[in-house]
Amino acid sequence: MSNPGNKAHCSFCGQEQEADIPLIAGEEGHICEECVRLASQVVASWGRKRAATRPLKNLLKPMELKERLDQYGDPRCCSL
Ligand SMILES: [Zn+2]
């Protein structure tokens, strides 16, 4: 592998490290700001897809929520 000048370069797009282009070092390579931005957008779009496909999985229905809450406090204990 040739690496002229022994400069670090982005493992994703090949961008060489410059004074005004810092690279984030990883275990086996580097990543530049542009690629971080792009990756962030991609990951964010995954999150939106996941949220859209199964948004209500852990939501309780109102009656289930009431039953759940009733388990934590018996309303009769505080009323006369
Ligand atoms: Zn890059």
Distances (CA, A) of 15 to 29, 34, 36, 49, 70: 12, 9, 12, 30, 59
- Give pLDDT tens digits for 11-47: 999 999 999 999 999 999 999 999 999 999 999 998 7
**Percent of the chain beyond pLDDT 70?**
75
Higher pLDDT, 36 or 52: 36
What's the gap in Å between 38 CA and the centre of ligand 1? 9
What's the gap in Å between 31 CA and the centre of ligand 1? 5
The domains of the chain are located at 4-78
Distances (CA, A) of 21 to 5, 30, 57: 16, 12, 43
Residue 61 phi/psi, 5-degree rounding, is -70, 155
Q: Are 30 and 14 in contact (CB under 8 A)?
A: no
What's the gap in Å between 78 CA and the centre of ligand 1? 63
